[in-house]
Amino acid sequence: MSEHDVEHSCGMHVVSEGPRQAPPLLLLHGSGASGGTWNPMIPALAGRHHVIRVDLPGCGQSPPAPSYGVPEQAGRVAALLDALGLEKVAVAAHSSGGYVATALAERRPELVGSLVLISSGPSPDAFLPQPFVIRALLAPPLGALLWRRRSDSMIRKGFVATAAGPVDIPDELVAGVQATSYRTMREVLRQNSAYIAERSVPERLAALRVPVLVIFGGADRRWDPSSARWYEAVPDARVEILPDVGHLPVLEAPEATAALLLDFVAADRRPSGPGNRET
């Protein structure tokens, strides 16, 4: 597996892996996380794709941005794909990264060949009461003080609290979260909430003509797992529920998640016909 680090491009730290001649696959992380979210899946994905991972602005190794509005974030991703000369890219996103991916398809449909949304909550109505460790870190005024004093252990506990059971959190992901400021995290969350409050993700996707795969953990602790079925309102969308998996399928069940993703993207590249698309 080849790996090369693309210098900061369009205000984002970008890492690409896998053969350049392979079909491109763009990976987007969730709120306050980083491209390290995808580490356990990279060997499988880079074996068949030219994988492009970004740290969205203000997260991981990417510098802060003037605005964290979802459409603006999508615009930066679009500029990156333009700079790389890519179109009809398969885009996979975890959690709120799915909002940036959806906005990308809304703004620049020619850039998106297919969408894979993993644990992306469909609307505010599906949001669950959050574990204490997450609420403590984010709620003002104490949250700002705790945020500056976060240990690696505390960050890991925050992630594990959304999982269905014990899970290894990559060091790169922990480091990326450490680099994210409290102010950035609060603003990213505010903008993400505003995006899905304005119009739900299934409603947005239903207006687009893009193949969609939705993967949800059946024991998600951040979003009501049953809300995954709301995506069935999207024409030709495929919804997969992973039993006994929480909010982090990319870390809790990387093999199963990668297999679903690869199968879906491969099927979308085949000529359309009976049996080529599961619904």
Is residue 112 over pLDDT 90? yes
Looking at residue 8, its pLDDT comes to: 65
Looking at residue 268, its pLDDT comes to: 75
Specify the 3-state DSSP secondary structure of 21.
coil
Looking at residue 129, its pLDDT comes to: 87
Quick: pLDDT tens for 117-171. 999 999 999 999 877 778 777 877 777 888 888 899 989 998 999 999 999 999 9
Q: For residues 126-148, b (16+ Cβ closer than 10 Å) or e, as one string?
A: beeebeebbeebbeeeebeeebe
Q: For residues 17-55, b (16+ Cβ closer than 10 Å) or e, as one string?
A: bbeeeebbbbbbbbbbbbbbbbbbbbebbbebbbbbbbb
| pLDDT band at residue 38 using 50, 70 and 90 as cut-offs | very high
Q: Distances from the Cα of 29 to the Cαs of 57, 141, 274, in angstroms?
A: 11, 27, 34
State the average pLDDT over residues 162-185. Answer: 93
- The DSSP code for 163 is S
Percent of the chain's residues with pLDDT above 70: 93
Is residue 272 over pLDDT 80? no
Is residue 214 over pLDDT 60? yes
Quick: pLDDT tens for 222-266. 999 999 999 999 998 999 999 999 999 999 999 999 999 999 999
Cβ neighbours of 209 (radius 10 Å)? 9
**What is the rounded CA–CA span in Å between residue 45 and residue 38?**
10
Looking at residue 7, its pLDDT comes to: 53
Quick: pLDDT tens for 65-77. 999 999 999 999 9
Side chain identity at residue 45, one-letter code: L
Looking at residue 100, its pLDDT comes to: 98
**What is the rounded CA–CA span in Å between residue 48 and residue 17?**
10
Looking at residue 271, its pLDDT comes to: 54
Is residue 3 over pLDDT 60? no
End-to-end, the C-alpha distance of the chain in Å comes to: 33
Looking at residue 275, its pLDDT comes to: 38
| Pair of tokens at residue 21 | 């001649």
Is residue 27 over pLDDT 70? yes
| pLDDT band at residue 277 using 50, 70 and 90 as cut-offs | very low
**What is the rounded CA–CA span in Å between residue 173 and residue 156?**
9
Where is 142: in which H helix or E strand? helix 142-148
Cβ neighbours of 272 (radius 10 Å)? 9
Looking at residue 138, its pLDDT comes to: 80
Contact in structure between 89 and 112 (CB atoms under 8 Å):
yes
- The DSSP code for 253 is S
Specify the 3-state DSSP secondary structure of 91.
strand
Is residue 274 over pLDDT 80? no
Mean pLDDT score of the chain, rounded to an integer? Answer: 91
> 27: which strand partners?
53, 92
Where does the chain show beta strands of DSSP type E?
3-9, 12-17, 24-28, 50-55, 89-94, 112-118, 212-217, 238-242
